A = this chain, B = another copy of it.
């Protein structure tokens, strides 16, 4: 499910919602705290944060089991929160930070939301849609593209998932 990410980098052909490595790590740390909230609730520990115009407009963690909702991934809840916060479903200029590479559902939602940039921690080799199985953000046939940076705080983001799955499947 998770492993080192070597292939994913910033897409050169997508407008860059610029940031620096220290800022990225700082917001990823915030997403990791959300992942730990999921872990405490016995959910697959994934956390997400959305930053728009320098302001955190969403913080969420996976709540699939608690809500009994297959759509309740951290990224989806964060997108709904962010859109409510800025009163617009178009999140142009915003960056999503998430501890695990987004799946197809979430990557498709990021296109629909017109997000500008996605920063993820651990790579998801089995279901990832931002570099692993699919590269949704780079598909020129869709009506929106987004930049992707992978591997930020990768070890920490992977560790919390490994802890969870080790406990579940000893």
Report which A residues bind B (CB closer than 8 A): 64-65, 68-73, 76, 79-80, 83-84, 87-91, 103-109, 111-114, 126-127, 129, 133, 136, 139, 141-143
Contact = CB atoms under 8 A, between A and B. Distances in A.
Contacts of A112: 70-71, 73, 103, 105
Contacts of A87: 68
A73 B68 CA distance: 19
Interface of A is mostly: loop
A79 to B, nearest CB: 6
22 contacts: A68-B83, A69-B84, A69-B89, A70-B83, A70-B90, A70-B91, A70-B112, A70-B113, A71-B76, A71-B79, A71-B113, A103-B108, A103-B112, A104-B105, A104-B107, A104-B108, A105-B106, A105-B107, A105-B109, A105-B111, A126-B143, A133-B142
